[in-house]
Structure 1
Amino acid sequence: MELEHGQDAPPSTSPTSTPPPSSYTLFLTIMSKRRTWVLLFVLVYAILLASSWNSLKSILSWYKHQARPSSPSSGWPALYASVLLGAVFGLLSMAAALAVAVPATLVTWITIVVLLAFFGKPKRTLVLEGRKITREIASFVFKILLKEGNLVAAVCAVLGYFALVRKNSGE
């Protein structure tokens, strides 16, 4: 078959020709990398820490005011300050972990719903099962976040207490 002068050739449909990457496929490629999620985790944690820096400074200034050398030596201001510091760091760790948990939870939920659809569940049953699975996954993630946040809060409170008591006894 000959092409007449002025006619364009039909576009090639060979498997070797690839379309130029769009911004969406570039975004998906970047977001599929583990390093991207680690970077996002660190970035969210840094933003949360920077935004709560004033509250941390106010806790420490309150402690310095309460633990003056002229006041009777007591461990109560150090205990209060360390519990507040532990609570701040526990909340920060929970918020940073949430930045990683949300995408992982969504992938898990989508996978389960798609598998249920492949096994031939009717749409009405699929919707009901999807709601039930959503509640179960959300409660499971919430319990883990609370447990991990409390662990970080406890460790930071204990370390903060010993650091504040040592600092106060060293002055």
Structure 2
Amino acid sequence: MRITISGLPGSGTTSLGRALASEYGFRFISAGEVFRECARERDMDLGSFGRLAESDPSIDRQIDERQKEIGMTSDDIIVEGRLAGRMVGNAHLRIWLTASPKCRARRIAERDIQDGDTAAAVTIERERSEAQRYRTYYGIDITDLSCYDMVLSSETFGRESLPKIVSTAINELLRS
């Protein structure tokens, strides 16, 4: 089974992906973690690295192609990333998580140990940068959610509830 989990920064995609991978014993791949790791390797913050990616398409394309290759050729995998639902064409279940900008900024601030205002500003810039790159590189409108099987609010359904909801869908698919 191949599952993709996508959403804007701070929407809870990594938390959900890790919880499901643990529950089902699936492999977990996270594009966001790869992107953050690449930024750290270059001693850059996410905003600066995002601006570099705007001028160097090879950064996104390398991350996206690797994620696509792994997702398309693996079984029992959860692929987490903004474009995962669009890149893994043979996914059995595509999920998009939502949360308000305020909620996502708070989560990012807690995760990255920033104040809320800085997290909000960095998040807005990151989303703008990513949306521009996805449109330019792939012709993708990130706000079009029509390819997803499930669109869930991680603000309404928290860290404990989301895996239960998604597990119901996974178990139904596994029975099919």
Question: Could you say whether these structures have the same fold, taking a TM-score greater than 0.5 normalized by the shorter chain as the test?
Answer: no
| Structure with greater Cα Rg | 1
TM-score (norm 2): 0.24
TM-score (norm 1): 0.24
Greater helix fraction, Structure 1 or Structure 2: 1
